[in-house]
Structure 1
Amino acid sequence: ATTEVEIKKKGPGSLLVSMDQLASYGRKDRINSIMSVVTNTLVEELEESQRKCPPCWYKFANTFLIWECHPYWIKLKEIVNLIVMDPFVDLAITICIVLNTLFMAMEHHPMTPQFEHVLAVGNLVFTGIFTAEMFLKLIAMDPYYYFQEGWNIFDGFIVSLSLMELSLADVEGLSVLRSFRLLRVFKLAKSWPTLNMLIKIIGNSVGALGNLTLVLAIIVFIFAVVGMQLFGKSYKECVCKINQDCELPRWHMHDFFHSFLIVFRVLCGEWIETMWDCMEVAGQAMCLIVFMMVMVIGNLVYDKVRTKCKSRSEHLSHS
């Protein structure tokens, strides 16, 4: 009864004010609950990142990964540290990376024996320079601190592959290791901020688009299997309609691999010739339905991936 009298005395306006206050209190409660959840998540992540390793690991690191065994060795480490960490040494390494890239770009076929010998000697020289840089940094920083930097891990990986390539140069089938030398170009990102930002954008975009890319791959896989099941037999039986030699053309759906390539080609926009061949061997109606579904569904997912990648890159560039 008292509350009714108070409401009548205050009038309807005060009732509206009290309702607004209740709504604002509700919003504040929701905001506080959200903030508490976010805070708890951040605290858990921080605790996980700061979680200590087992004591045995620290004992192993202090024994084998931190080299401070003798005063003369410590003095040598200080001298090597002054040399390796000098900015002019970094500039010289950057110039060597550029020259090594130019040497790799000059490879062609056929090459004269003299020119091939020059490139081989250049590869040995650059590999020796980068190997010396890695070992000098290991001496100056100790392995424990050296491998805590991402660029040093990347550098050690490239140097290890280069040494493996030189040691297995006479083994057939391992020439693919030579292509890993091109990864040295990415070391320029350490001293080139634009390239560094571009690599970060690509890495973050790939991580953010993993689910959509997986969905796109599943869609391509599904339509490749559908095309092979529906039209594979027709391509084999009616091949003379699309090829005078009665042999399967380059683009067909008789097996999964070529069917996968056709679906990928359709998503790239090259679909008219392949759809016409399909209509010749398997009929117009079914081919039109399948190709239209591939174009519509596949391009929708592709546009979603491209839009998200663009927004992600813009966000990273502004930040």
Structure 2
Amino acid sequence: MLRSLPKIDVATLIAFGCIVLLLLLGAVAKPGFLSVDYLGQQLQVAAFLGVIATGEMIVILMGQIDLSIPWTIGIGGMMATGASGILGNALGVPLAVPFGILCGALIGVVNGWGVAYLRAPSMIFTLGMNAVAQGLMVYHTGGFAPQDRATPLMIELASGQWIPGFSNPLLVWIALGAITVYILTRTVFGRQIYAIGNRERAVFLSGVDSRRVTLIAFAFSGACAAAGGVLLAGWANRSYQAMGDPYLLPTIAAIVLGGTNVLGGRGTYLGTVAGVILITLLQSILSVLQPQDYFASMGIKLPADVFRQVVFGLVIIVMMMLYGREKAMR
């Protein structure tokens, strides 16, 4: 029997409550923060993170993690912009977007194969794959992108509006989110993902090929990360080295803030949406308030990007402690 949509849990409600508080704080700190144009811009920025977080959430639901996101994003963007040089103009221009996403999916397949069939720890294997992807791209490009300009379709996907009032990245995120919600709540595959996160050994002994599920989940994560890279390259009208580096901690922080258990088995996509919006608003508030200036007055000098990384890291540590204790007590 098909399962009904999951109820909104406490963590998701807390995340939405924090969003409201940040909106009120932003309205006080910056005139025009609640304007339609500014909020629309924030949703467009959130869409890039949301697309990337979608695949990572599936992996985390299984009790795994994908740390190859930074350079999978880079591969997606750089291979999409360089597709015409690899495939030729006749094929490269129209196939740039799917080619970039396919390259990311291949990285995910390798990750899934290593974790599922070689039984390697996902944290170690995917971190190693991130380094391998970096090395391969540096070797392939000679340290720079030989053809780094986005195609017209990439630019349109990242900055256009096919529906007035809704940016195309937001539409992409909505479509991807709808597919993900359907998979997680209405398919056997989705139930298997949750079950593996709770107790993989029991799932395997029940006759489910948990290795195949893990492989598909990592391939999906790689494809989502590469899709985010394609959108980012279209937004900037170019691809560049290390374009995905700023997205690893915000992605994981958004997922755990939305209530997804970092040890697997529990979480909703609505919570991830709330977490993504919360992280995006938090980044905006930090840029407006410049709290690192306060610490600088006390002799603690932290650049803005470093301060954000510290905040995201603390969020992950706190949520890990909360979920770790909770799962240990069950």
TM-score by length of 1: 0.25
Q: Which protein, 1 or 2, shows the higher relative CO under an 8 Å CA cutoff with sep ≥ 6?
A: 2
Rg: which structure is higher? 1
TM-score by length of 2: 0.24
Structure whose residues are more often helix by fraction: 1
